[in-house]
Amino acid sequence: MEEKAHKFGVRRIKMVLAYDGTGFSGWQYQPQVRTLQATLEEAMEKVVHHPLRVVAAGRTDTGVHALGQVVHFKTESHLSPEVLKRAFNALLPTSIRVRRVTEAPRSFHARFSAISRTYRYFISRHSLPFLHRYCWVIERRMDIERLTETLALFKGIHDFAAFGSPAKEGGTTIREVFRAEAKAFKGLVIITIEANSFLRRMVRHMVGAAVKVASGGSSLEEVKRAVEYPHGFRFPSPPAPPQGLFLWRVKYRPMLD
């Protein structure tokens, strides 16, 4: 059967993943540390019986989670998507779950075919023991209206050099943010940011800046200056901690979604 699969060409498989980023040193493979990519590939190779490389829509940082990470890989295996999903989940740790497996056209690329990525950041107003793993706990008062006003400054096409760095040296720092908003819900503040793509740590720096304004530690004008004059200014606040951040969804054109 493997010979038959090889004869008719290599298949391209698209998967949607959810994972708890706690205990992983981010997505991308690194020698001698536990990463999501390496853990996933090790389990998958036991199923398809050949080496493979998994390409992700976004390389999440250490401690960052995902509900809708999208990846693709190439395989000569004849196993159906349903069988692949069951087999992968049987071998993966429970902190990584394959939610969906589908055949993809050869033109599909998890990263380059994406038209937008949506991240959600969760802030809890209450310090409860089971929330610290998935939220930034902030018990001090925050002005939600100011938080929303600050996030609105990021919408549109801007140079975000003051809020992140490109994956490769010399890469562009211009991004288009389609949505940046905050909502309060039963003791949680949920921040949603959607863009065509993101710089490294860009979402966490944006959230950190917005929270600083909402908490009275900075002004809207200071954030606006960082957006308008990015190369001479870096917003003076640390990034929001990683555990509150989730890669929520990756969007593709209808024929690839």
Catalytic residue numbers read 61
β strands within the chain, DSSP E: 11-19, 55-56, 65-75, 96-104, 116-124, 136-137, 156-159, 174-185, 188-195, 245-251
Residue 192: strand pairing partners: 120, 181
Residue type, 181: E
Length of the chain: 257
Question: What is the four-CA torsion angle of 105, 110, 115, 120, rounded to 10 degrees?
Answer: 140
Beta bridge partners of 70: 16
Q: Which SS3 state, helix, strand or coil, does residue 114 take?
A: coil
Contacts 24+ apart (CB under 8 A), 23-31: 23/95, 24/62, 24/63, 24/95, 25/62, 26/59, 26/60, 26/61, 26/62, 26/64, 27/56, 27/58, 27/59, 27/60, 27/61, 27/69, 28/59
10 Å CB burial of residue 22 (0-12, 13-18, 19+) is: middle
Measured distance between the N- and C-terminal CA atoms of the chain, rounded to whole angstroms? 29
Q: What distance lies between CA 23 and its chain's CA centroid?
A: 16
